[in-house]
Amino acid sequence: MPGDRDLESIQQARDLVAAAHEAQKKLATFPQEKIDAICEAMSQAALLDVLRLGELAVQETGFGIAADKAIKNLFVARDVHNYFRSLKTVGIIREMNSIIEIASPRGVVAAIIPSTNPTSTAIFKCLIAIKSGNSVVLSPHPSATNCINETVRVVREAAEAAGLPRGAIGCMSVATLEGTQELMKHKLTAVILATGGIGLVRAAYSSGKPAFGVGPGNVPAFVERTADVKKAVRDILTGKCFDNGTICSSEQAIVADAPIDKAIRRELEEQGAYFLTSDQAEKLGRVVVTPAGSLNPKIVGKSAARLAEMAGISIPPGVRALVAEVAGVGREYPLSIEKLSPILAYYVVNGVEEGSKLCYDILRYGGMGHTASIHSRNRDAVRQFGLMIPASRVVVNTPSTHGAIGFSTDLPPSMTLGCGSWGGNVTSDNISPIHLMDIKRVAFETREVIPEAVQALVASSVSPLPPPPPQPQPMGPRLDRESIAALVDKFLAERAKSSPPAQPVAPLPPPPLPPPQVIEARQEKAAEPPKSASPATMANGHRPVDFVCEEDVRQAIARGEKIYINSKTIITPAARDIGEKSEVFARP
């Protein structure tokens, strides 16, 4: 049964959604000019408080660097707002001769906010929701409730002063899992923007509501042999160390092309990275990953010095990032996962094809569909890499942290990055106000439909059937049955005269009878009613399941059971990784 805090959270979610629903009815009547003026006021208010809100986030969560969080706040309040400032989101947004496009808001947006980027994500989701004519209710991560609520207060007060209906922006102050689930499943919630752990994203997709969830990012950085090594290393460390690696698009592994391996290592050390010994890497791995195989939340957003201290290893002063040579990818290699801190795995490959295959494996281990990066001056190599990599964003010659969110590339600026079907997401886009609108299309006739003309068109486009073959004409007088029989008898008699006499053939001996017990068993089996075979039942008597998720696998492991599957079973990437390593799947 839910506790008192859970009940309070559930009731708060209901109240906020109801208020947001009523406010959105008024907001939906606003012209574009008024919507834009409200967003401008929100942007300006956030810009004045980027530093303070960044400091609040670090103080409450213990993650990252305050100055870097301020940059993320600035990026959202200024760059995202400027990018979409002129976007039409109200009424007729595009008119052509034959089609008129009309924007329609979704309604109430349920926005789930993470602890890694709490204030910037809150500003972002408030801005894109209001820009597209929606109201929004935010559910903060429990460990970042205060800084998220303060951020929402700043933009809400500015928006309401500019004319936003009261209740159009709401934020839960009592955040529990039960309250968040109530927010997502509420009948008045129209769409979900979910940023958080894989369990939360899966809950969003199973809520029965349209949802834009984002997956984790285990980002590989391939440094191809033609790369500018000095710049490549600078970019990788810039991305990895920004806010101590708390953005999901930050680099997690360096994949070095063999001809420039030594140059990359030398440049890493010169720019402040430290290569761990095998013993140090093993100690760090025990701190980074829990015994259950998941990321230890206590290491998220911590500095290299703090991570070394937690692992009980000694490193030189001034180290920016820890680098560990890793022999493979998977559960038995703890540092091959997404680390959300200034730790980099290091691999060496030979060529684009080998590098692409390894990057594929890294993404498959917890980052499918998110982001990959390549550093190269060979456009053909970049093209080949892009064709082979299952990532929604492949950024080139830039920090992946900044490139993926649109800070250093021409991608739409966003703090919510879709992972496509690779990551189990509904979109591979950088989420924007466009995703929070329904587009109606008024289409005029461009080709008149005239029944006679249609029939003529069909007649002219269908090949005529070939004429039937001519029927054979009877030749000579028709023979009756008796005449035919006489002719056959005459033919056989003449053939017998010309054939040699047939030699007698000895009869074959009768087959031996089977033993009495076999005869008895056959008689019993013949007396049994026939059994119908079910194609859905395996030889061992178990029926294969249709769908397997990560939670199904974990429950099966805990119970010591097998999950029976066949070629039609749909298995999520995370479930397949865990299930295959634990040998939990069984086949016929």
Question: Which of 583, 526, 530, 518 has its CA nearest to residue 557?
Answer: 583
Residue 21 pLDDT: 98
Residue 437 near residue 105, CB atoms below 8 Å:
yes
Q: Which of 39, 241, 248, 359 is catalytic?
A: 248
547 bridge partner residues: 570
Residue 481 pLDDT: 60
Per-residue pLDDT of the chain (588 residues; tens, 9 = 90+): 567 899 999 999 999 999 999 999 999 999 999 999 999 999 999 999 999 999 999 999 999 999 999 999 999 999 999 999 999 999 999 999 999 999 999 999 999 999 999 999 999 999 999 999 999 999 999 999 999 999 999 999 999 999 999 999 999 999 999 999 999 999 999 999 998 777 777 788 888 888 998 878 999 999 999 999 999 999 999 999 999 999 999 999 999 999 999 999 999 999 999 999 999 999 999 999 999 889 999 999 999 999 999 999 999 999 999 999 999 999 999 999 999 999 999 999 999 999 999 999 999 998 999 999 999 999 999 999 999 999 999 999 999 999 999 999 999 999 999 999 998 888 999 999 999 999 999 999 998 888 877 777 777 776 666 667 766 555 555 555 666 566 656 666 665 565 555 454 444 455 455 555 544 544 554 444 444 444 444 445 678 887 777 778 888 888 888 888 887 787 877 778 788 888 888 886
Residue 164 near residue 24, CB atoms below 8 Å:
no
Residue 539 pLDDT: 44
Task: Kindly list the distances between the CA atom of residue 286 and the CA atoms of 251, 292, 326, 557, in Å, as whole numbers in the listed order.
Answer: 21, 11, 14, 22
Indicate the residue type of 122.
Answer: A
Residue 573 pLDDT: 73
Indicate the residue type of 527.
Answer: A
Residue 472 pLDDT: 58
Residue 471 pLDDT: 65
| CATH number for the domain whose boundaries are 219-407 | 3.40.309.10
> What are the residue boundaries of the structural domains of the chain, listed by start?
4-214+435-443, 219-407, 547-586
Residue 524 pLDDT: 52
Q: Is 248 a catalytic residue?
A: yes
Residue 13 near residue 170, CB atoms below 8 Å:
no
Residue 368 near residue 393, CB atoms below 8 Å:
no
Distance, in Å, from the CA atom of 31 to the CA atom of 213, rounded to the nearest integer, reads: 30
Indicate the residue type of 566.
Answer: N
- We find that the CATH architecture of domain 4-214+435-443 is 3-Layer(aba) Sandwich (3.40)
